[in-house]
Structure 1
């Protein structure tokens, strides 16, 4: 595969956008120097049912210290290793490559389950699974065999997301550049603003441009010289995702480490809908976790209102009514999410044309709207149900709203309404990218 045709146009290392991100205080952010442990071959999950059973067991384990990790902003290094060892990070590798080939419904439920316990930890593999789908859709056969085998062997995949620069007019605009050096080798330089999962990953794929300004997906090793990840993610929610900035400074890459995605710009795929399904599942998990903690607090700690005439808050007729309404909202969002996942399963093995891809985007957009609303409603209404004592810092229940508010900003819901309305009213097909 020829990536760059001529050396004469090779870009110099300088001026490639490999700028160091600045912190909110104007100081240089702290470099995240810790590297993930070398890959270890994980358990091989044998069925979708077993995958969900393992996920439920892990969720109970992760839930125990989720509030403490959030409060201390303690990155879940040990938990990620435990999660990977369970075999769950490899369940979507296709059967023909030695994997389980789990359904999209199982994938969605996996994210709901883990994010119901700790949505920061649960969000970390979002790009891992999205990139696996991207490999199915755009990589060469040799690349699929290579990277699918890596995942089955315990490798984790991160991602370096959009750059926050004025010149990057759109989120999909690559600002990193691939360079052909005089000796014929390749290197890549540039900076990206979001890198969820990359701190814990072994491979970091990201968008770049070739000499003809065509988009590429370049894969860099996490431990390669020139890769620097910054611990500058300081949002008030999703605090332990390590979604900081990343810089690539003349990072060496092989020719086989490059996927020429420009060749697939006009090819309909399921990459966008699958990426969005994961985002919707994260929000559904946040909603379920918030509601669960609200119910536990009402049962165990809340006091009944003075005029209620009951001795337990859980017997207050108004609280009972509100719980019923909230449970319906959360359950409905979850049901539509799984319906969207089943839609993807139904079309996954047929030719994907522009109409199949569009309908998949619409189905997932419907789920994304409802899971967003459920996450925000459950996490905010938690306090109205549980009472003033639930607002004490010791309980850290505000993390549910903080997580919901931050993660639901990932994809503006107003554009989901527009996507659906424009499709239903005008037959307009959604634009194809990872946010649709």
Structure 2
């Protein structure tokens, strides 16, 4: 795996990019999502099989305007509902789940700007996003006690901050115009430095070797005393110090990706069973699609998927209701976290189930490498490891039984 030459790639990248389309409203966002998904789906299996990074495809995706749909209307964006955002992600993830995951952190980071940015920072960063610029991420680290035990430092130095450390699971950083990096100051407060691509000391390394979500480039970011203007640094700690929806927003996008994976796996199951699979000899039927036990399993999968989609939409509506209030309260955040947690349980389970059942119902032919159907289960298994769904059961039960509000952090 090669390290990216940031300075060269950023100059080439910007020179060839035109301004992105600006989407006007929710209806247009959904229409554009379907158009982009149809285009992305055509090469998805091949990109996964060859681990061919989607440099061209991500340009189509972001230039379509979909990466800017959460920019508030007051700043020229569509300011779409969470119902629409969730559906857009699900549509794209069903076409290619790696590309569906790439803007997940981007949308969370747009929300951080809205929640914690100064007026000048909002004007600047929202204009960048509307112009087609993408945020990657430098959040997580390997080898620490837990996901919140960060070693990366962010230190004030006059009109700049100095960022030093190493990140991993840096989804989208390889394709990003800004790599927002989370680090701690001396008081262990979290700060997000939105580091422009090409900044000296910033290196993005393509060393992601996960067996699923292969083309997310979720590898390493190193920061060797990177100097960042204070205008590019935001107080990330305020996102959880006060009641905000940032955590539930991050989580509902994750759930939408899993729902998309399940949809894709089920669609491939139906196509293969109808066209290629053979009925079992004891079934007494001529076609696999008439095998009563296969029909039963297909029905079960659809019920599970539709239940997951229903909870996903319900959770998005809870988010929309909370966002419409003049001020978000602790109770609002708790309700949103629980609603999203419920959806995430079902989207996780149906994504894994659909990926596994594909082979049982479609038969041995479906395991041939030429189909690459195993990507659905691999993608579901890897993506659903972002946080343990067993803790979602605990979160939901503890809220309803004991009235305990979920802890505020990006995984709730």
Q: Do they fold alike, i.e. is TM over 0.5? A: yes
Deviates more, 1:140-149 or 1:69-78: 140-149
Q: Note the C-alpha offset of 1:398.
A: 0.5
> Within the alignment, does 1:354 sit opposite 2:304 as a pair?
no
Counterparts of 1:120-139 in structure 2 under 5 Å?
A: 120-139=98-117
User: Are the counterparts in 1 of residues 47 and 215 from structure 2 also a CA contact under 8 Å?
Assistant: yes
> Within the alignment, does 1:429 sit opposite 2:405 as a pair?
yes
> Hey, what's the Cα distance between the residues in 2 that align with 1:61 and 1:267?
41
Q: What residue is the counterpart of 2:244 in the other structure?
A: 269
1:110-168 per-residue CA deviation (whole Å, 9 max, x = no partner) reads: 111011011011111111111111222222222111111110011101111211123xx
Q: Note the C-alpha offset of 1:173.
A: 3.0
User: Are the counterparts in 1 of residues 245 and 336 from structure 2 also a CA contact under 8 Å?
Assistant: yes
Q: What residue is the counterpart of 2:150 in the other structure?
A: 174
Cα 1:296–1:184, aligned 2, differ >3 Å: closer, same or farther? closer
> Hey, what's the Cα distance between the residues in 1 that align with 2:177 and 2:149?
24
> Hey, what's the Cα distance between the residues in 2 that align with 1:118 and 1:229?
23
Deviates more, 1:202-211 or 1:256-265: 256-265
> Hey, what's the Cα distance between the residues in 2 that align with 1:300 and 1:262?
54
**CA RMSD after TM alignment:** 1.5
Q: What residue is the counterpart of 2:38 in the other structure?
A: 60
1:63-120 per-residue CA deviation (whole Å, 9 max, x = no partner) reads: 1111100010000000000001111111110100110011101110011101101101
Q: Secondary structure at the match of 1:102?
A: coil
Q: Note the C-alpha offset of 1:213.
A: 3.1
Q: What residue is the counterpart of 1:19 in the other structure?
A: none
> Within the alignment, does 1:304 sit opposite 2:279 as a pair?
yes
> Hey, what's the Cα distance between the residues in 2 that align with 1:91 and 1:347?
19
User: Are the counterparts in 1 of residues 138 and 180 from structure 2 also a CA contact under 8 Å?
Assistant: yes
> Hey, what's the Cα distance between the residues in 1 that align with 2:97 and 2:193?
28
Q: What residue is the counterpart of 2:118 in the other structure?
A: 140
User: Are the counterparts in 2 of residues 198 and 222 from structure 1 also a CA contact under 8 Å?
Assistant: no
Structure 1 unaligned regions, length at least 5: 1-28
> Within the alignment, does 1:150 sit opposite 2:125 as a pair?
no
Q: What residue is the counterpart of 1:82 in the other structure?
A: 60
Q: Secondary structure at the match of 2:133?
A: coil
Q: How many residues align?
A: 405
1:197-250 per-residue CA deviation (whole Å, 9 max, x = no partner) reads: 111110111211223332211111121111111111101110000000110112
Cα 1:162–1:355, aligned 2, differ >3 Å: closer, same or farther? same
User: Are the counterparts in 2 of residues 31 and 231 from structure 1 also a CA contact under 8 Å?
Assistant: yes
More helix by share: 2
User: Are the counterparts in 2 of residues 162 and 173 from structure 1 also a CA contact under 8 Å?
Assistant: no
> Hey, what's the Cα distance between the residues in 2 that align with 1:199 and 1:412?
26
Q: Secondary structure at the match of 1:261?
A: coil
Q: Note the C-alpha offset of 1:430.
A: 0.5
Output the TM-score relative to the length of structure 1.
0.90
Q: Secondary structure at the match of 2:241?
A: coil
Output the TM-score relative to the length of structure 2.
0.95
The ranges of structure 1 where at least 4 consecutive aligned residues each deviate by more than 6 angstroms after the TM superposition are none
* Matching residue within 269, 288, 302 for 1:313: 288
Q: Secondary structure at the match of 1:178?
A: strand
> Hey, what's the Cα distance between the residues in 2 that align with 1:364 and 1:354?
15
